[in-house]
Structure 1
């Protein structure tokens, strides 16, 4: 039996199958427990995180990331530059031999 035969709107069925967004679900549960709206927003802001992915290709990371290596590891940026230069030199030597 399809949804129309049962008197249901097929579009509303597909919408109800979707899971609510996590903050909405948290908000609903906190409201049910009697937490004040201002507190709910603070709780959600504290626990919802933002994930950012960055991708790059090539022997060197972008300058802003390279600068971060400098802060993390002693001479980190310089070490990466030396590694890239050494790799380039090796490739050029191999190309010259062929």
Structure 2
């Protein structure tokens, strides 16, 4: 009985560890793939804001425009990372059941 429980525990932990590592790997790949795209978009936004008069831009920055851009960029990267990780975990868990 003890050997059977040990085998069952190893099987459960082995699958969990595999799913976790694959999910982490897909998260890293998704992050690496989408960071340049996000940086390009933020640079385009920065270039578009460069055409605004300095006084207007200063008022916008005092109102928190810089923080808004940072929060939106961080939220986009977090969503991409989470979705990539969930997709990886779903793929591994369906492969383990077949």
Do they fold alike, i.e. is TM over 0.5? no
Structure ranking higher on relative contact order (CA contacts 8 Å, 6+ apart): 2
Q: TM-score, normalization: structure 1?
A: 0.32
Q: TM-score, normalization: structure 2?
A: 0.32
Question: Greater helix percent: which structure?
Answer: 2
Q: Which structure has the larger Rg?
A: 1
